[in-house]
Amino acid sequence: MKKMNMVIAQSGGPSMVINESLVGAVLEAKKSARIGKILGARHGILGILGGDYIDLRKVTEKKLLKIAETPSSALGSCRKKPTADDCKAIFEAFRKLDVGYFFYIGGNDSADAARIVAEEAEQADYPLVVYHIPKTIDNDLRSCDHTPGFGSAARFVASAIKGDDLDNRALGGVKIDIIMGRDAGFLTASSALARVREDDGPHLIYLPEVPFSEEKFVKDVKAAMKKFGRCVCAVSEGIRGKDGVPIGAKLGSGETDSHGNVQMSGTGALGDALAKVLKEKAEVKRVRADTFGYLQRSFPGVASKVDQAEAMAAGRAAVKAALAGELKKGTIAIVREEGRKYRVAFAPVPIRNAAKYTRSVPKEYIARNGHDVTAAFLEYARPIVGPLPECETF
């Protein structure tokens, strides 16, 4: 079989473990005699279009392993949906470089970008094996039990809520914490992992999957204040009213990316608006709001060990599947194996399974009262997130 070169790139929002997947793929590729050059394109398909590559064979294994543990996308990222013209330019570039394998690490939009490239390559008769490697802190890929990046972001969120709940214990009042998750509430739900004692926060959890009502919110907070004398609320940035429009998007700048996503992170508007509601209607004097923002996906030193290992394994699995050659346009599904002990398998599946459409928090993970999660969710999330820092109180 002819030796072919490979291109790998990162796309979409960074995570704490997306470099693990990159390095896993590179290390696996290095083991194969059928892969020639290993080229890292900078800033996703923008680097391919601009011919901006790093020769990843030249990077020492020691350096690669350090990069694996570093948050954010070491190759740089982009949020670009390739057009038909972009694809033509990509194949022209690939032809010159003898590229036969293309790996794209990212979320559902990046999977869709990879799908477009793969389908256009087929149309253009360009022989290209395309693999998407899953990554998203939102945990909303339909193809995976959970996605690399989620466990570490969830560990940040649960740790932050744990500390913030202690802070709220000290000074009282209501604390609102806005947590990432455009369409899916998995990350916000993970705040519940912070609880150890019965009166630990978060006392209220609002997911985008449950229509948000200001009246219910005010009522819930009043009830929590009565019960606990204080209240910590974990609120998804994606909460939406009955009209289905995210409340944060209405308050924000209205800025959109090329996949049509409205900006929600990188602003404190939603938290401030909810704090205002409580001050006016719930008669609470001390209300504070924090938006956890980009720290959730980029804070160094708090990654989940399980998440790190799985992200690297997903990268390796993509290269193995691409070399196996049975499926030419694939993504790696992460499948949880049955049994009492937590174990996962990495299986190649058609790329369409990950592309475009997202997965929501299933009903069995949402408490009936609409402002909490179930024990089933905690059981689902705990092994992925791993142990949290221990805290002690009187």
| Active-site residue list | 138
| CB of 72 vs a copy of itself, minimal distance in Å | 3
- Contact between 123 and a copy of itself by CB under 8 A: the answer reads no
- Contact between 393 and a copy of itself by CB under 8 A: the answer reads yes
- Contact between 304 and a copy of itself by CB under 8 A: the answer reads no
- Contact between 162 and a copy of itself by CB under 8 A: the answer reads yes
By CB under 8 A, name the one of 167, 214, 262, 281 that touches a copy of itself: 167
| CB of 56 vs a copy of itself, minimal distance in Å | 9
> Judged by CB under 8 A, which stretch of 63-71, 235-243, 326-334, 347-355 contacts a copy of itself?
63-71
| CB of 240 vs a copy of itself, minimal distance in Å | 20
CA torsion sign for 87, 93, 96, 101 is negative
Q: How far is CA 266 from CA 18, 280, 293, 309, 385, in A?
A: 20, 25, 6, 29, 24
- Contact between 73 and a copy of itself by CB under 8 A: the answer reads yes
User: Nearer Cβ to a copy of itself, position 143 or 296?
Assistant: 296
By CB under 8 A, name the one of 81, 272, 328, 367 that touches a copy of itself: 272
| CB of 19 vs a copy of itself, minimal distance in Å | 9
- Contact between 70 and a copy of itself by CB under 8 A: the answer reads yes
Q: How many CB atoms lie within 10 A of CB 51?
A: 11
Q: Which tokens is 327 given?
A: 């499926």
Q: Which of 165, 217, 215, 211 is nearest to 191 (CA)?
A: 165
- Contact between 135 and a copy of itself by CB under 8 A: the answer reads no
- Contact between 175 and a copy of itself by CB under 8 A: the answer reads yes
CA–CA gap between residue 64 and residue 284 (Å, rounded): 51
Name residues whose C-beta falls within 8 Å of residue 26's C-beta, 6 or more positions apart in sequence: 8, 38, 40, 56, 59, 64, 315
| CB of 394 vs a copy of itself, minimal distance in Å | 5
> Judged by CB under 8 A, which stretch of 156-164, 201-209, 210-218, 359-367 contacts a copy of itself?
156-164
Between CA 134 and CA 139, with CA 135 as vertex, the angle to 5 degrees is 100
Q: How many CB atoms lie within 10 A of CB 177?
A: 24
- Contact between 195 and a copy of itself by CB under 8 A: the answer reads no
* DSSP calls for 60-126: -HHHHHHHHTSSS-TT-----PPPHHHHHHHHHHHHHHTEEEEEEEESHHHHHHHHHHHHHHHHTT-
> Within positions 85 to 114, which residues make up the interface with a copy of itself, using CB under 8 A?
none
3-state secondary structure of 271: helix
Name residues whose C-beta falls within 8 Å of residue 294's C-beta, 6 or more positions apart in sequence: 265, 266
- Contact between 14 and a copy of itself by CB under 8 A: the answer reads yes
3-state secondary structure of 171: helix
By CB under 8 A, name the one of 30, 34, 54, 370 that touches a copy of itself: 54
- Contact between 136 and a copy of itself by CB under 8 A: the answer reads no
Name the residue type at position 363.
Answer: K
User: Nearer Cβ to a copy of itself, position 208 or 271?
Assistant: 271
User: Nearer Cβ to a copy of itself, position 142 or 288?
Assistant: 288
> Judged by CB under 8 A, which stretch of 106-114, 185-193, 264-272, 372-380 contacts a copy of itself?
264-272
Strand extents, DSSP E, the chain: 4-10, 35-41, 53-55, 99-106, 129-134, 173-179, 204-206, 230-236, 287-291, 329-336, 344-350
Angle formed by the axes of helices 269-281 and 214-228, to 10°? 70
- Contact between 279 and a copy of itself by CB under 8 A: the answer reads yes
- Contact between 52 and a copy of itself by CB under 8 A: the answer reads no
Between CA 175 and CA 246, with CA 223 as vertex, the angle to 5 degrees is 55
Q: Which tokens is 297 given?
A: 């996906």
Q: Give the footprint of a copy of itself on this chain (CB under 8 A).
A: 10, 13-14, 40, 43, 54, 59, 63, 66-67, 69-79, 159-160, 162-164, 166-167, 169-171, 175, 253, 265-269, 271-272, 275, 279, 287-295, 297-302, 388-394
